[in-house]
Structure formats: structure tokens, C-alpha cells
Structure 1
Amino acid sequence: MKNIKADIILITGIAGFIGFHQALRMKKVGYKVVGIDNLNDYYDPQLKLARLRELGITVVEEEGFTTNSDQSIIFYKGDIQDAALLEQIYQTHPFQGIIHLAAQAGVRYSVENPHAYVDTNIKGFLNILELARAHTMEHVVYASSSSVYGMQAAQPFSENDPCNHPVSLYAATKKANEMMAECYHHLYKIPLTGLRFFTVYGPWGRPDMAPMLFAQAIIEGRPIKVFNHGKQKRDFTYIDDICEGVAQVYESERLRGQHDILNIGNGAPVNLLDFIETLEHALGKAVEKVFCDAQPGDVEETYANTNNLDKYISFKTKVKISDGIHHFTNWFKSY
């Protein structure tokens, strides 16, 4: 990587699972990180506050910002729907680029609360694009999702495949983000890269995702629901591998000046029942499985083709599923 000691970067969703880890990764190589998060209650905000404490942010103000001890990470409690606040953050800490990870997450919740997805994922993303248009950004890297592929049959998923049949509103908003970014690059030449994440897992993960749900049930001796009768595969990708890939994408000179959409995943789907078995082994307890029909919005398999990503960066995942689950369960038991 180039010498970026003086660079300032904005990370949205910094108290989220990926945003928290990405902030640690960017700080490690010398960036000054400015983060924003609204700390909403989609899941327990105490986990988000605990992540912030790991970043050295011990006080959350209603207005203004707080910082860690060496001022390498600055935190604003606020919403990306607030365009005036985003502009204020830029004027106070003129960042050169953006890693946009803030979103209303979750496939199943989009059935219950669709307005939250449009407000954050569409309106909020528009504010990020407008911010990038108003100020010269070296690069804007934004989170898309493997869910945009929907129920298509072709495996592995390639960025060249059509994605015109989303099966959840969450997926539809992520596809909309890609189209919005394409438009803004065409009109204003903003350098943008969208990353389609594939089933990210690891320590400090979201409690609504399978690893946390299953681990909690195993520890407490409760049965777990296995949807689609276990006939699911996911391209589980460990968080450290994801953050390294995001950092390399952000730094890639070849990606700056264009708009690309790239898969970022492990490229090795794991059967859900095998994943549960590995989790049981790591926690030293078996769990009762209740097999259920598939839920609305779920896809049967995700599988990343990362050939296009390989053209730009030397992205190779390093963490095997057994090691990743070991790291996750060690954190889970201590937390």
C-alpha cells in the first residue's frame, strides 16, 4: 500500500459488524478514521456500544463528535439520512475517500419493515453520492450484497449474470444502489466500487445472523430452526479476509476513475448442516434441529466467483471455516 499516513477516510456504519472491523483495519495501516453510526435498535445497541469501546470510543454524544485517546478514530452519532450532518463532518474533517457500510441489514426483516430499507439504503446512499459529487473523493467503496443474485440457477455467481429478480426488498435496495452508483459515475465521473459481500461471519458479528443465533441456542441447550430442511449452502467468508479485501480495493489505483461491481467471498460454499456441525464441535455441545420450510426472501445457495476481483487485487482468503468458527466461538464465549 502507498504511504497514506495523512489520509482521512469516512466509514459509515462504523459501529456495525463490518464497519467496526474495517475501522480497526484502516487505523492499523495509518489512516485517520472518521465514523458515523445512528446506533439504531434493529438489534441490541449495547453490542454496538461495546464495539465502539473496542475502538476506544467511550462516550457517545448526542451532538458533535467523540474521539479515541490518540485521535486516530473520530465518531459521530448520527444518520446518513442527515445530509447537513454529512456536510458538517466533511467540513470539520475533510476526508479524501469513503467506505460506505451503513445500511438497514437483514433479508427477513425487510418483509416486516420495508420503509426502513428505503429510508436508509436508498435515501441514505443518495446522500453519500451527493457528498462525493460535491467534494473530490479519491474513491468511494460501497457495500452491495450477494443477495442481489436472487434465485438464479447459475453457480458460481458472476458479476456478469443478470440480477433482475430479487427475492427480498433488501436485495432490491442493494441492486438499486449499484444502478445509482453507475448513474453518478456516468454523470460526474466519481470513482466508485461496489462490493457484493458473501455471508460475512466472525467475532463481534450480528446477533440476527446464523452463527450468533445457533451459538446462543447451543450454549443454552435450546433447539434451532433449520430452514429449507437444511438444503442450503452459504459462501461463508471470515471478517478479516473481507476487511483486507476492502482495504486493497480502496487502495487500488486501477479501480479509481471507474465504476466496478465486484464479488468478494470465499469461493467455497459450505452446507448449512456442516456449518452447524462445526459449530457444535467448537462449542462442545450438540443441538436439537427442527427442520422447517424455507423462509420468504431466502436463497438456496450463494457461491462467489471472484475472478474479476482477482484482476485488480491479490485477494486470497486465508481463514478456513474451521479456524474461523474457532475464532468466533472463542470470542462468543468470552463476550
Structure 2
Amino acid sequence: MPTRLRKVVFLWENFGPMHIDRLNALARATADAWQVVGVQWTGKSTTYEWVSPDAKNFNLVTLFPDAAPGSIGFARKFWRTLSFCLKSKSDTFFFSHYNDAAIIFTSMILALFGKRVFCMLLSKFDDYDRKIRLEVFKSLILLPYAGFLTNRGRSEDYIHFLRGRNVPIAYGHNTLSVGEIRSLAGAAPAPGGVPHAARHFTAVSRLVPKKNLGVLVDAYAVYRNSVVSPRPLHICGSGELEAELRAKIAAHGLENLVILRGFQQRPEIAQELAQSLALILPSIEEQFGNVIIEAQAMGVPTLISYNCGALETLVRSGVNGFVVEPDNPAGLAFFMQWLQEDTDLWERLALGCAQFLPRADTPAFVEGVMKLL
């Protein structure tokens, strides 16, 4: 008689490509021991316009299939989330959105029932101006969690600040399938594929204040005036600041060089990065920056601000990219010019991406989960 598999439940608001990648990998790796179940509240994200691939190796459940994102009241969300968890017969849960009221109360009740509840957390202390009262409250709502799946560096430090040094922590929260990205790109990673001379700069980001795209346009204007033949800059994303960004581009006279491509789905992003000289992410607030993984999968060096949470895990200045202050357009322009003019440097940085990919690929997520289980 076959042994009954233990069940582990993962909950995110909505499943994007990265969530599908992670759970497909986990389900394949643990097929003989665990049944993996994914839970999302709605079929669309409140933030992103992504179209997700199929959940090939695990069961994906949508609790509110007909609801619009952000439209579900607390009572309905809490009751249906808790009911599903209790009916699932699972004794192990991984929750994101620790600050959502429905998750706060669900995690507390499950812990009281003796369930193991883990928190998937990628916040950092420097994300916001912190208030001591809120931090004390946060430390209380994190008490039900038996451990944390997070990232190296500041996210880990923030958990220690809230829960002490003895709480179990594992890495690998932010991972993507490197093989899938390369397959979608249909090209060899740099320095192979498109020649250095034919590549452009790329930013992949929502058009919102925290992404700091105004400074990026300012930096590009400085760069444009410093080189003979400036490379185009493609900005992939959508958001509330599109009109303001277009006006800034026009004010600098950059309409023919800075191209707003709108929101791009995963295959288009992979193909865009396959033609990129560098990915630029100058955010003033960035919990991680998953697009850095997509860039590194294609051997594309990154120019990022030190606010990006991926810094400790994936980026080293002079090895596979450069780190710059988010309020320093001249510094960003300097690095752009350097990568354009020094082919040997660019090739060395492109090759340097490979050494960090084991931290970014989905087996790292599997390893982190299994460490906590």
C-alpha cells in the first residue's frame, strides 16, 4: 500500500511566473515525500500584469476565482483562508504577506492547533522610515512562525531584529528558473549571443516613484552627452508615472533614444535582456529585484542602487556589475559610459554573472524549504 504523502501549503496573493517556478521545482524534487499545494486569493495580481505559466507539478487553488484583485474584505478573506488551511489536512504552511490581517489571524490559529507555519519574508529595515511602535507590533505578529524563508544580508538581519538570533532561517526565497529564462530568450548568455556593439541598456520596472526612473533619465542625459554614439535605453513597465516620465524624456530631448516599451511578459523580457548591455535598477526602495536574476541568467551585468535587496545575494561591484547611490545620476552615467567603451570589462562582468546563479536558481529555493522542513 503506497505511503501517504505529507502535504505542504504555500500561499501568495497571486501566483506569478516566479512562484510557479519555485513550486514546480519543489514538487519535482520532493515528489516521493511531499504533496505541494499552492494557494492564491485571486487569479490576477493587484500590482503586476503578468500572465503565469501552468502549474505543472503541483496543485494550484484559487480561493476567490471571480473576485477582482484588492476587492476582498477581511472577514471573507480570513474565513476562506483559514477554512481551506484546516480542511487541507496539512500540518505545514508557508505564508507571504505577514502584515495582512487575514494572514495574521490565520497564522495565529494554525499555530494554536499545533501546525508548523513559516513566513516568507523579504523586507529590510531600510525599506522605510521605521516607527518603534509598529516594529514592536510586528515582532508580536511574527511570533506564531516557526521559521523564516528569506534572503541573505539585510532581510536576515531584519528578522533577527524582530525575532532574535535563535529563530530558524533559510535562504532562497527569491529564485527563478534559470533554464526557463534562457529557453524563452532563445539566445546564448552574454558575452555570447548579440555582439557588445549591438546591445542597448535596459530597465525593467514599474513606473512608480520608488523605482527612481526620473534619476535614470537624468543619468541617461549625462551619458548621452559623454559619448559619441549613445546606446538606446529601453524601459519595460507600466504605471502611474508614465506621463510624467514621458515629459521628462522630452525635456531632455531623448525621445528617439529612451523608449518606453510598456509592460512586457516574461518571454519578451528574456528576449529583451538577451540584447542588453546592462540592466539598470536605481530604486530608492527595492525589497529584492527579481529582474536581476533574469539579467544574470542571460549574462547581463547589472547597475543597481544599494537599496536593492538582491545586493548581498547576487551583485558584487567589479565582478558582475556595479552599485551606485540612488541619488547619483552622474555616477550611474559614468558606469554606463564605461560599459559601452570598455568591451573587455563588459565581457569580464558578463562572465562574472555565472558564479552567483546557484543562489538565484530554483534549487536554492528547494534547499531553503527543505532546511526548514
Q: TM-score, normalised by structure 2?
A: 0.39
From the CA coordinates, give the structure whose radius of gyration is larger: 2
